[in-house]
Amino acid sequence: MRPIHLIAALAVTFFASEGTALAQSAVPSSPIASEPRASQVLSIDTPIETLVAIPMAKAALDADIPGLTDHPMYDQFKRENLRALAPKFGGAITDKDLAKLQADLAALSPATSSN
């Protein structure tokens, strides 16, 4: 995995242009983020802050996309899910990264179905 430092530079550009909108649309943390449900199905569509609140999901996130949870702008994007966030980072989070994380999160989810 490559370091997330490139993401920092790209994020500054993205968030600088949307800073006003982000500040005006700030939403308080959801109850799910602070109190994850045991039966919750986890995926790359789950808000990042919810994944971080679950120790095993955070470990998978840190392993598959190193540096994301320590990113200086984490507070600005933590409410988004990775599927929506990845394109904003100019290719620094690849489809391969997302697929690996999706597989790791599915393995943690209690309600996964077999094909």
Q: How high is the mean pLDDT in each 10-residue block of the chain (115 residues)?
A: 47 46 44 51 96 96 96 95 92 95 90 46
- How far is the C-alpha of 93 from the C-alpha of 42, rounded, in Å? 18
- How far is the C-alpha of 57 from the C-alpha of 76, rounded, in Å? 20
Task: Note the pLDDT of residue 40.
Answer: 76
The predicted model scores a pTM of 0.65
Task: Note the pLDDT of residue 53.
Answer: 96
CA–centroid distance for 94 within its chain:
13
- How far is the C-alpha of 13 from the C-alpha of 56, rounded, in Å? 31
